[in-house]
């Protein structure tokens, strides 16, 4: 077993002050303004962000063989692909997909230095409109929550069909608790996390308003149901912090 990847995500170094500004994106969108500061936003807004990327890249580096394909759906600025590219020992095909042209442009720049040793393909495309190539491992971090609820099952089915037998699917989400007390507690701790990471209460409130009806969470049970319906087995919660969770599952082997 290879150790966990120790690489750090390489951010652009720009601080997320978007919700301090006079003009901020309402409703929230992954535009140029957001893409520029996204690496800092993710680090300060997603608990266990680096841990979850280390878990996913560590699993990928242990599971994938030379010539395997890894797909990252909703890859944003390419941080996870960059962590894998900088630590993997074999030649892989790494595919990233994101529908935001601004995210795509940053990912392309960030990953260009690895192109000589690794086959990296980036697509500026909508997951719901694009078919996926055959892959051994697919990841989707914090992207399902931005898709219409009714279309999320299509992603599970699409990923299942694209995976080789025994292939791995990992996804991370901000999930909803079916119990209002536990949901309120998770929200309370999450807002404390954001304050500890330098966001003011007004930034927190403005972003919450911007994300209303844009980021729509499902529950763990709903995601598990979608995974089972698509055919996945071995569904497990790999990491959990308040409302943030990383799930892992496999396609049936031969």
Ligand X SMILES: C[S@@+](CC[C@H](N)C(=O)[O-])C[C@H]1O[C@@H](n2cnc3c(N)ncnc32)[C@H](O)[C@@H]1O
Q: Say how many CA atoms lie within 13 Å of 207 toward its Cβ.
A: 17
Reduced to 3 states (helix: H, G, I; strand: E, B; else coil), residue 4 is coil
Closer by beta carbon to ligand X, 80 or else 85: 80
Gap between the Cα atoms of 52 and 58, Å rounded: 10
Burial of 164 (0-12, 13-18, 19+ CB in 10 A): middle
Closer by beta carbon to ligand X, 147 or else 185: 147
| Nearest distance, CB of residue 51 and ligand X, angstroms | 12
| Nearest distance, CB of residue 246 and ligand X, angstroms | 10
| Nearest distance, CB of residue 185 and ligand X, angstroms | 23
Gap between the Cα atoms of 123 and 133, Å rounded: 12
Closer by beta carbon to ligand X, 58 or else 74: 74
| Nearest distance, CB of residue 118 and ligand X, angstroms | 19
Reduced to 3 states (helix: H, G, I; strand: E, B; else coil), residue 46 is coil
Closer by beta carbon to ligand X, 48 or else 183: 48
Q: Are 81 and 139 in contact (CB under 8 A)?
A: no
Start-to-end CA span in the chain (Å)? 23
| Nearest distance, CB of residue 112 and ligand X, angstroms | 18
The residue whose Cβ lies closest to ligand X is 74
Q: 176 CB contacts (<8 Å, ≥6 apart)?
A: 183, 217, 218, 219, 243
Closer by beta carbon to ligand X, 185 or else 208: 208
Closer by beta carbon to ligand X, 68 or else 172: 172
Q: Are 92 and 118 in contact (CB under 8 A)?
A: yes
| Nearest distance, CB of residue 93 and ligand X, angstroms | 18
> Could you list the residues that contact ligand X (CB under 6 A)?
30, 42, 74-76, 79-80, 97-100, 103, 126-128, 141-143, 146-147
Closer by beta carbon to ligand X, 24 or else 185: 24
Gap between the Cα atoms of 188 and 246, Å rounded: 20
| Nearest distance, CB of residue 90 and ligand X, angstroms | 23
Gap between the Cα atoms of 57 and 62, Å rounded: 9
Reduced to 3 states (helix: H, G, I; strand: E, B; else coil), residue 231 is coil
């Amino acid at each position: 077993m290879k150790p966990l990847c120790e690489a750090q995500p390489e951010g652009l170094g720009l601080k997320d002050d978007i919700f301090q500004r006079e003009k901020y994106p309402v409703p929230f969108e992954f535009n140029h303004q957001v893409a520029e500061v996204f690496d800092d936003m993710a680090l300060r807004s997603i608990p266990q962000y680096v841990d979850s990327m280390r878990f996913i890249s560590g699993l990928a580096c242990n599971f994938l063989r030379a010539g395997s394909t890894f797909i990252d759906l909703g890859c944003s600025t390419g941080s996870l692909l960059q962590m894998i590219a900088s630590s993997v020992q074999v030649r892989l095909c790494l595919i990233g997909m994101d529908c935001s042209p601004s995210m795509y442009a940053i990912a392309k720049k960030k990953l260009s230095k690895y192109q000589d040793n690794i086959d990296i393909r980036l697509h500026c495309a909508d997951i719901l409109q694009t078919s996926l190539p055959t892959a051994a491992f697919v990841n989707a971090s914090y992207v399902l929550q931005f898709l219409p609820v009714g279309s999320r099952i299509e992603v599970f089915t699409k990923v299942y069909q694209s995976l080789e037998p025994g292939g791995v699917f990992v996804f991370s989400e901000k999930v909803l608790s079916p119990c209002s007390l536990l949901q309120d507690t998770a929200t309370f701790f999450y807002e404390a996390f954001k304050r500890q990471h330098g966001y003011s209460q007004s930034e927190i409130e403005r972003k919450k308003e911007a994300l209303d009806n844009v980021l729509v969470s499902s529950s763990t049970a709903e995601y598990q149901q979608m995974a089972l319906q698509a055919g996945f087995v071995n569904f497990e919660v790999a990491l959990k912090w308040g409302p943030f969770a990383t799930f892992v599952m496999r396609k049936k082997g031969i």
